[in-house]
Amino acid sequence: MSDQLRPRASLRTAVVWEVLKDALDRTSKAAGRDALDVLDTGGGTGNFAVPAARLGHHVTVVDPSPNALFALERRAAEAGVADRVRGVQGDILGLFDVVERGGFDAVLCHGVLEYVDDPAEGVRNAVAALRPSGALSLLAAGLGGAVLARALAGHFTEARQALTDPAGRWGEGDPVPRRFTAEQLAELVSGAGLEVGAVHGVRVFADLVPGVLVDTEPGAVDALLKLEAAVAELPAFHSVATQLHVLGEKRP
């Protein structure tokens, strides 16, 4: 796909999708089934649910927004996977009001922990929804990325505020209620009884590079995607990533 046709959104999702796709393949082999039952908490309009359904998996999306679920339904229909995607209104803290415990081979929890009152309970619920040998894909806002972004924008006091604030917020106008370090997310996953399989830094450079450069420089999108993939697993870059991805695996 050319740079002109490749959506800029791929810069935000490519690393996570590749890790998730590999995890689904491993889980499918371990379960002895081509089609897995996948739960996407906070899955919104289906950025990951629809591609997972295209692979043949059955995906349940739990999201509090009726508008997002309506868009999900339309998107799944346009992709020809409406029969494999189900939307349910709810949230991760009330997860078992709408889905069953232990009913899923994989659980996605992307962009959720930043907004819940009790992130540890959210992770415990996600883990409780897994079957034995299931996998958890956890994606949340990174502290270091926010500090770096504020500093590069010249907001040095806000950068220092984010660095010292218990929730990682840079001020009253900060739209993100909470941010995490890689160590904090790994502790949440291991504390809920999973083995931490891998940690990845996401959007290490993508949010810092001027959009005009990516959009106009030939080959820039592909080159930036390859750079993001190259640094994603390097711990040195986790501390400056906009988002952090942790893969947890449940052992029988």
Instruction: Kindly state the tokens that stand for 80.
Output: 């020809």
Count Cβ atoms below 10 Å from residue 59 Cβ, excluding itself: 29
pLDDT at 6 over 50: no
pLDDT band of 221, cuts 50, 70, 90? confident
Place of tokens 């999201």: 63
pLDDT band of 5, cuts 50, 70, 90? very low
Q: Is 0.95 topped by the overall pTM?
A: no
Give the tens place of pLDDT for each residue, 20-75.
999 999 999 988 999 999 999 999 999 999 999 999 999 999 999 999 999 999 99
107 in Cβ contact with 248 (< 8 Å): no
Question: Angle at the Cα of 175 (from 117 to 229), degrees rounded to 5?
Answer: 95
pLDDT score recorded for residue 38: 98
